[in-house]
Chain A
Amino acid sequence: MSAASQFLLDAGVKSADITHREIIRKGVENYWAGHMKGRQRIRDWEAARQRCQETKQEAVSNLHRYLLQFEAGVHSRGGHVFWAANSAEACEYIRALAVSRGVKTVVKSKSMVTEEIQLAPVLEREGIAVWETDLGEYIVQLRHEPPYHIVTPAMHLNRDQIAELFKKKIEPALATNDPVELVAVARRALRKAFFSAEMGISGANFIVADAGAIAISTNEGNGRLCTSVPRIHVCVTGIEKVIPRLADLAVLWPVLATSGTGQPITTYSTLISGPRQPGEADGPEEFHVVLVDNGRSELLANEEQREVLHCIRCGACLNVCPVFRHIGGHSYGTIYPGPIGSVLTPHLRGPEFDHLAYASSLCGACTSVCPVKINLHRHLLHNRRDSVEDWNVGTGVSPAQPARGVEARRPRGKFSERLGFKLWRFAMLHPGVYGFGARMGKRSLRLLYALGLRGSLLDPMRNWNRRRAPVPLPGKSFRAMWRKGLR
């Protein structure tokens, strides 16, 4: 089954799942209340967004300069920087490192890039135990699921489902669904892993060029333990995470926290610039940063959509998206769900995911909350255009260079779609034909519904009617009302 058909199928099932919708509704309501309260703490939210946008724009327009500055800083303190063109190179570097250092156990803090490159299975094939240590990530790992949301990976589960899971997988004697007790269960299980692991793997929320440091934001402290206790620390991150200056975090940290969870700042806003230095009490002996490209430099070449690289992965656009709220994070079939995922995935994984540009009502809620002011719904339109336009036959009127290989492009509008639009055009230019068609359509629908076939396979309005209350057919058409003096 194609990714597009799978998407329609999963989205259909999920949007009719009432329990799921209830859980998401509650989660999103809590988020929104917290987020709006958080915004009140900032004197001028729009100025803060503007500043973050400018910071990221400056960083991305000087990407190579800032990455080299970061690299030099890390090198000067004995750290390593590896540049990976794609997932395979990144995974191979980390696999070889783990094997050569005799690593048996890895503790991971939350990192969407490690999901993107599918790192865990590569290490597990070497017999290495990989522990996700963020509570939400740990829960979805136990369920053998991908993260549901980029900030709250287990947002789709309620406490009963989590208690059931922990009882089955960790503590058979567990007899409560109290969140405090559930957190304690996870803490006990993960504590052993933290102190036996030889390697900690983290992501990075930012790469700070002038300080030569990575910045990690975590609330639980799991990211702190992953980067303090094991003897090797590997940070896996995308090349676009760079920011010019340490002081830029004075705005970025509060804005990221406000957009992500509504907090004024994340509990642990950590900066790491190397392995343990002489005279320091502890810390890893080795520090490796893996900079992942994986399609990002191609997106950079696309001037029209370059700003998508400004994303700081706060998850705000997911929370406010009416489509996400109905179909959930897993239906997208991508690592990054929601509006940002729908924009990004075709660039990272190819035209197989072009259909996601249509997983939007274009309401613009995503754009209105984005803390770095990415024009998300506009980019969904760009992706729609790119997915149907034929770059080979064009006469130079295409507004921008395509991001992906020009040669690979063929006209991909479906035949039925093209025929449909031709007929529509004809009818719109011939009012008599249009009127006749509308009358016939209404009559046949009336007959169909009188026979009790509403919502059946014969009903052309089936997608709407099979799960919703019927919309009554109007008595008079708009054209008739217009003629009778509506004008």
Chain B
Amino acid sequence: MRVAGAEEQKMNADNPSREVILGRIRDALGAAPAPAPAPCAYSSIFDPIANPLERFQQECAANLMECLLSSDEASSTQHLATALSSLPAGEIFAQDDPILRRLLTSAAVAQQMRWSSEGAPAESSQATISRCEALIAQTGSIFVTAACGGRGASIVAPVHIVYATASQLVPDLETALTNATRNQTLSRGSFACVISGSSRTADIEKILVEGAHGPRRLVVIVQL
């Protein structure tokens, strides 16, 4: 017979089915199960990635994302200014981050700015700018967390611009997720997302249409 702690007793009192379901599961499974077999190596399932940056660029193209390489901060600023200059009038939301503040100041952005420290992006935001936790070469993905300007930063506006450095590039999903486990990414924040392209749907006759509910354009500036 298991002895429930005080907290667990309270949980069971609020939710009587909890102990019923757990009891049924324990009865169904019986004694301790056999140990799990050793999983086969990730490299035998997926091809190892020889050149992560090249692979990342290829996958970005396949995901209909724009990947812009820059040699230094000045060139990143230039990319940022170009991307923003083509936008219609309206507010721009950015993750409140010292480097992004510096870049956006030198880019001399004409639009009204809103920073993540002031809360969620407005529904009418024309673009959002954020950093990321990692870039994943295997799938051409950007890995963002709540710390990258919050949840709305990567979904609310029609354009999402990500500023990253080449040092953030990891070869594959396994590396990205193992790092996230080690860094306790989901204990320190409430959200993370592997984003692999612009928002899309194929629900009508399986025809791909971009810009369903999220960004139509996803731009990644990778500073080497």
Contact = CB atoms under 8 A, between A and B. Distances in A.
Interface residues of B, number: 81
A42 B46 contact: yes
Q: Which of A64, A182, A195 has the most CB of B within 10 A?
A: A64
Given A51-B40, A62-B33, A281 B150 contact: yes
A197 to B, nearest CB: 12
Interface in B90-133: 95, 116-117, 119-121, 123
Given A270-B193, A271-B192, A281-B120, A89 B46 contact: no
A253 B173 contact: yes
Contact of A281 (B17, B39, B119): B119
Nearest to A86: B17
Contact of B180 (A26, A85, A221, A246): A246
Contacts of B67: none
A164 interface: no
Contacts of A77: 187, 190
A44 B186 contact: no
Contacts of B59: 264
A337 interface: no
Q: Which of A213, A239, A267, A300 has the most CB of B within 10 A?
A: A267
Given A219-B212, A282-B119, A43 B150 contact: no
A63 B27 CA distance: 11
B42 A265 contact: no
Contacts of B121: 282
B69 interface: no
A44 B204 contact: no
B128 to A, nearest CB: 11
B196 A264 contact: yes
A82 B16 CA distance: 10
Interface residues of A, number: 99
A154 B204 contact: yes
Interface string B138-150: 0101000011011
Contacts of A54: 36-37, 39
A245 interface: yes
Contacts of A329: none
B130 to A, nearest CB: 10
B212 A222 contact: yes
A180 B193 CA distance: 26
B95 to A, nearest CB: 8
A62 B223 CA distance: 45
B83 to A, nearest CB: 20
Contacts of B181: 210-211, 245-247
Nearest to B177: A247
A70 to B, nearest CB: 11
Interface string A276-314: 110011110001000101000110110000000000000
Contact of A269 (B17, B155, B196): B196
A352 B13 CA distance: 35
Contacts of A392: none
A265 B139 contact: yes
Contact of B141 (A68, A247, A265, A274): A265
Interface stretch (A130-138, A357-365, A367-375): A130-138
Given A225-B213, A267-B196, A300-B29, A83 B203 contact: no
A219 B44 contact: no
A350 B95 CA distance: 52
Contacts of A297: 21, 24-25, 28
B33 A64 contact: no
B202 A51 contact: no
27 contacts: A43-B45, A50-B40, A54-B36, A63-B29, A77-B187, A83-B21, A83-B22, A187-B211, A213-B186, A219-B199, A219-B201, A220-B201, A220-B213, A224-B154, A245-B181, A246-B177, A247-B178, A250-B174, A268-B214, A269-B195, A270-B192, A271-B191, A277-B188, A281-B95, A281-B151, A282-B151, A298-B24
